[in-house]
Amino acid sequence: MKEQLDNILKEAQDSYYHIKNLKDLENFRIKFLGRNGLLASLSSKFKDFPLEVRKEIGQYFNFVKEEINNLYLSKKEFLITQKKIFFDLSHPGEKIEKGRIHLISKEILKIKKIFSNLGFNIEEGRELVSEKENFDLLNIPPNHPSRDLWDTFWINKKEYLLRTHTSAHQVEYLLKYKPPVKFIVIGKVYRHEATDQRHEMQFHQIEGVSVGLQSNLSELKSVFQIFFENYFNKKIEIVFRNSYFPFTEPSLEVDISCVICKGKGCSLCKKSGYLEIAGAGMIHPYVLQQAKININKYYGYAFGIGLERIIMLKFNIPDVRLFHSMDLRFINQF
Amino acid sequence: MRFRIKDLKEFLDSSKINWLKIVETLNKKSFESYLKKEYLEVEILPNRFSDSGNIRGLAKEISLVSDIRFKDLKFKLHKVKNQSKEKLKLEIKTKELEYYSGRLILDIENKPSPKWLKDFLNFYKINSINFLVDLSNYVMIKIGAPLHIFDFDKINDKKIIVRDAKEGESFVSLKNNKFVLSQDDIVISDNQRILALAGIQGGKYAEVDLKTKNIFVESAVFNNFNIYRTSRKLNLITDSSYRFERRVSIKNSQLALDYFCYLVEKELKGKVIFDEYIYQQEKKKPEFINLRLNNLFNYTSLNVNHKDVLSILKKLNCRIIKDNKTSLVIQPPNDRLDLALEVDLIEEIIRLIGYDSINPTYPLQFNYPKEDFYLLFYDYLRNLLAQLNFTEILSYSFIDDNDIVNFKNLFKFKPIEIVNPNSNIYKFYRPFIFINLLKGVAKNLSFYNWLENKEFKFFEIGKIAFYEKNEINELSSLALVISLDNIEKNYLKIKGLLKTLFEDLGIENYQFNVLEHKNYEFEFISEILIDNKKTGYLLMPTYNLLKKYNIEQSVVIAELNLNFLINNFFKEKRFKTIFQFPAIFRDVSLVVPIYFRTNELEKEIRNICRDILERLEIIDIYYINDQEKSITFHLVFRNKKKTLRDEEINELMDNLIKFFKDKFNIKLR
């Protein structure tokens, strides 16, 4: 009996897909659900079974009937609606508007996470700082040519300026946290420069500082390696070159193996196989002393990375001015 | 700086030099360098310009980082007694002078320069004047110390005075430019006139020309800060000032003078007078540096052995004063002015060993990282606003004069002016962010002029600043801008957005306080009050004002002070009870005069329904004619403690309708 019911259900399900119009539908109803339909004719045989079997079969019978009835009703609904308005499945979906977070903010989030995992505090700092914070405390005295390394926007308050680097907060946060400590300062900096594809008067910088009992060039090399390998999601080689900054000694330029050609030489790295990516060094004892740090006990390293520069490399962006262009044709790509 | 390979070769004791390899080594250990056809392009670091910013110095550096031997100049100077009666008197009347020396050279036969010298100067971008002057420049490029020569016969009273300038005194340069000086500047004068601006440029009065027979040549070391200040103040940057700013060693200064005298004698038959005029500020004791060898390990985690350190120090020409195997007392060579501290020597040793030998080691010291609260709040806002279909824009932090005029009603404080802006459109540091977002709307309206439905929703989070009682007040700010071509829809959207934002922050008590204003620039300006404290603005510029920004559709703006929000409302959310009893809802449409304020109705409804009114929404506004409108409220009721009965609500609704009828004569639709 159960088998017969299953067969009827299967037949109904098969024929359901062949119902094309209301006439087919009516035939379907008569065949399965009608007074003399397949189900009705089966029900007349119930009385032949013993009571307990009859109860069980009855339940299953009702289930099958319900199923078939639902098939009938849903097809009926579909055919009637379709008759009223043509439902075009090829019509494009409705446009759902989407808000967006700027690429810079998205990348800052990733960068913060990597440095946070390495134990760095994350700081913001102020954009308007004193000459003392931006220069003097960093061993860049007034009337010294090393000031020419930064083209500065001065404001109409004596001895104040738009920070030229996030290093301006080194001493401030070293005083706040006391060693051993690691932190990054991430934010906008300003340079009085003519702008072109590679130069901007306003960009973001990541300043990193680590002061402790073993914060040295060897640890710096590994911090760079971890950071860049995570950020570019690639194996990366770090190369230090000799350089000069007034607030570090030794001072370094940091190169990474080219993110495109992995050191073989391509147009991005101008055939050198390496990309200039950061400035770094051991913090000058003068600077540590400004932060009241015992230079016989602690030492530390600091580095500065241009945010736009690494984003441009990662996403193949040709012009740094796009970031602050407010152009949705750029912003909506990411 | 560029260096001709043939000039460098003069100082290098090797017939075969692999320049490609030299450049590669220089790049890692010394300076960024490029090999060009017949010359090197080298970016001498500022702290090394005094020793390496000349041909002899760079050759020395090349020898230091490679295995090529350095070959110094070899010359012999013949000095004669002064036969003439005319003697020079030198007077020093300034404290800004470290070292001064000079010599007389007589009976010179000056003439135009030969080709080799002209070619040399041409390559190093110096104009050829005459043989004497050109030789002094030749020596400067070769040895690094600038010399100055005076026509001895033109010096009044045969007196050379090095002194501080008098306030307001003027100096006429070789190029006939007049400069007004102050006491900070140093000059070389005779007893009447200024002959040269010390360390920067010579003057007209004792100019050396083809007729010059007798000269006084000066080789000095001026205070580098002083030269920098004067040269920047007068905007007069010369080869000489550039070098003095970066310091010149006394050693090079002496060598340059001798070498110049030798050349004049050899090339122009001059007689170099035996007596040398020398002044030296009280001799400083030689600086000794204490180098602790374990610091080399501390800085690099490299094991550097004592023997290697000694061999590097020897190559550097350092004198070892004391050596107890764990630390050394060292006197650095006197032409390496950059070596003054222990760290300077550490750098020197590490770079010569090579940075490539440093291996990475993982950070071992644990630091529990904390993130600044503001940065976390920005991220929260960015996420929320992006969910609400807003797009984040980043703009320049500057505005211009027109912006200041256009929004003068909002500027209660003095804006921060950039003294040296890149352009007049970036003249002020922004006191509001929204002004730039307006420009963003205009820009994108032009990029997207083909769009059917030009609706823009922007936000920016950033710093703003202005003066408050002459102090800088820097704040974090959030600006929101919606632009579409329907004023009312626009306004309601931003109000709705603010509502969602405030609700998410758990802010209940907020108001928009419309400000009276007497201008045609704004449709309205409202202050946003949160807990009765001014937290921002909500405003709509008029069509007129928008036109100035090339925007031809309505824009509505909000800007919020984030410092206040963070300090008071950036908290973790707490769970609130979910009420189990069912809600009952009713729609009621009231017909009111067209000027009737919706919030009046809302206030009264809330007043009458009290606690059991859980939610009130306006689902329709319909303008019946130009006198009347119908407003439909969707009211949701719920009792938190028991199930509400229909009859209770029916009774409440009857009361409500009766109240409106009695008090305002408002009908039901």
Please indicate, yes or no, if residue A97 is contained in any of the structural domains: no
Residues of A in contact with B470 (CB under 8 A): 157
pLDDT in tens, B348-406: 999 999 999 999 998 888 888 999 999 999 999 999 999 999 999 999 999 999 999 88
Contact: B369, A160; criterion CB under 8 Å: no
User: What local confidence, expressed as pLDDT, does residue A167 receive?
Assistant: 95
Computed over every residue of chain B, the mean pLDDT equals 91
A55 lies in the same domain as A204 = no
Question: Which two tokens mark A106?
Answer: 């998205």
Count interface pairs A-B at CB distance under 8 A. Answer: 249
Contact: B229, A143; criterion CB under 8 Å: yes
A70 lies in the same domain as A12 = yes
- Range name among A85-94, B167-176, B198-207 with the lowest pLDDT average: A85-94
DSSP B565-623: HHHHH-------PPP-SPPEEEEEEEEEETT--HHHHHHHHHHHHGGGEEEEEEEEEEE
Q: Of A51, A84, A117, which marks where a domain is finished?
A: A84
Residues of A in contact with B290 (CB under 8 A): none
pLDDT in tens, B211-257: 999 999 999 999 999 999 999 999 999 999 999 999 999 999 999 99
A128 lies in the same domain as A40 = no
A78 lies in the same domain as A141 = no
Q: Predicted confidence band at B157 (pLDDT cuts at 50, 70, 90)?
A: confident
Question: Which two tokens mark B60?
Answer: 């020395």
Q: Which of A148, A160, A178, A242 to mutate to test the interface with B (most CBs of B within 10 A)?
A: A242
The verdict on B158 touching A (C-beta cutoff 8 Å) is no
User: What local confidence, expressed as pLDDT, does residue A61 receive?
Assistant: 87
A121 lies in the same domain as A77 = no
What domains, with CATH codes, occur in chain B? 2-70 (3.30.56), 79-280 (3.50.40.10), 289-357 (3.30.56.10), 373-569 (3.30.930.10), 584-668 (3.30.70.380)
pLDDT in tens, B421-460: 988 999 999 999 999 999 999 999 999 988 888 899 999 9
Looking at residues B72-78, what average pLDDT do you find? 90
Residues of B in contact with A250 (CB under 8 A): 299, 343, 346-347, 350-351
Is the pLDDT at A56 greater than 90, yes or no? no
Contact: A122, B371; criterion CB under 8 Å: yes
The residue ranking higher by pLDDT, A270 or A325, is A325
For B364, the closest of A123, A142, A214 (CB atoms) is A214
Looking at residues B71-96, what average pLDDT do you find? 85
User: What local confidence, expressed as pLDDT, does residue A186 receive?
Assistant: 96
Per the structure, how many domains does chain A have? 2
Contact: A182, B421; criterion CB under 8 Å: no
A65 lies in the same domain as A184 = no
Which A residues, 62 through 91, put their C-beta within 8 Å of a C-beta on chain B? none
User: What local confidence, expressed as pLDDT, does residue A95 receive?
Assistant: 84
The verdict on B420 touching A (C-beta cutoff 8 Å) is yes
Contact: B362, A328; criterion CB under 8 Å: no
pLDDT in tens, B17-67: 999 999 999 999 999 999 999 999 999 999 999 999 999 999 999 999 998
Residues of B in contact with A160 (CB under 8 A): 472
Q: Is B60 exposed, middle or buried (0-12, 13-18, 19+ CB in 10 A)?
A: buried
The full 3-state SS of B220-284, as one line of letters, equals EEECHHHHHHHHHHCCCCCHHHHHHHCCCCHHHHHHHHHHHHHHHHHHHCCEEECCCEEEECCCC
User: What local confidence, expressed as pLDDT, does residue A45 receive?
Assistant: 79
A80 lies in the same domain as A116 = no
Q: Of A55, A84, A113, which marks where a domain is finished?
A: A84
| Percentage with pLDDT > 70 across chain B | 99
User: What local confidence, expressed as pLDDT, does residue A83 receive?
Assistant: 65
Question: Which two tokens mark B240?
Answer: 């000489």
B368/chain A closest Cα distance in angstroms: 6
User: What local confidence, expressed as pLDDT, does residue B609 receive?
Assistant: 86
Looking at residues B485-514, what average pLDDT do you find? 89
Q: Predicted confidence band at B611 (pLDDT cuts at 50, 70, 90)?
A: confident
Please indicate, yes or no, if residue A92 is contained in any of the structural domains: no
| Percentage with pLDDT > 90 across chain B | 67
User: What local confidence, expressed as pLDDT, does residue B518 receive?
Assistant: 66
User: What local confidence, expressed as pLDDT, does residue A85 receive?
Assistant: 64
Please indicate, yes or no, if residue A267 is contained in any of the structural domains: yes
| Percentage with pLDDT > 70 across chain A | 98
B385/chain A closest Cα distance in angstroms: 7
| Percentage with pLDDT > 90 across chain A | 60
A77 lies in the same domain as A161 = no
Q: How far, in Å, CA of A300 to CA of A283, rounded?
A: 6
Looking at residues B452-471, what average pLDDT do you find? 93
Please indicate, yes or no, if residue A282 is contained in any of the structural domains: yes
Q: Of A84, A112, A147, which marks where a domain is finished?
A: A84
Which A residues, 248 through 287, put their C-beta within 8 Å of a C-beta on chain B? 249-253, 282, 284-285
Cis preceding linkage at A180, omega within 30: yes
Is the pLDDT at B82 greater than 80, yes or no? no
The verdict on B358 touching A (C-beta cutoff 8 Å) is yes
Q: Domain of A187: which CATH number? A: 3.30.930.10
Which B residues, 247 through 286, put their C-beta within 8 Å of a C-beta on chain A? none
The domain of A65 spans 2-84
Please indicate, yes or no, if residue A232 is contained in any of the structural domains: yes
In A22-155, where does DSSP find H-type helix? 22-33, 38-43, 51-84, 103-117, 131-134
User: What local confidence, expressed as pLDDT, does residue B347 receive?
Assistant: 95
Residues of B in contact with A123 (CB under 8 A): 372, 375
The residue ranking higher by pLDDT, B132 or B514, is B132
User: What local confidence, expressed as pLDDT, does residue A228 receive?
Assistant: 96
User: What local confidence, expressed as pLDDT, does residue A94 receive?
Assistant: 86
User: What local confidence, expressed as pLDDT, does residue B179 receive?
Assistant: 92
Q: Predicted confidence band at B547 (pLDDT cuts at 50, 70, 90)?
A: very high
Please indicate, yes or no, if residue A96 is contained in any of the structural domains: no
Closest among A246, A224, A240 to A164, alpha carbons compared: A246
Closest among B299, B298, B293, B297 to B320, alpha carbons compared: B293
The residue ranking higher by pLDDT, B459 or B622, is B459
Largest CA distance in chain A: 114
User: Which residues are within 8 A (CB) of A26 and not within 5 positions of it... i.e. 6 or more apart?
Assistant: none
Please indicate, yes or no, if residue A134 is contained in any of the structural domains: yes
User: What local confidence, expressed as pLDDT, does residue A39 receive?
Assistant: 84
Is the pLDDT at A86 greater than 70, yes or no? no
pLDDT in tens, B501-516: 999 998 988 988 888 7
* Residue type, position B271, single letter: K
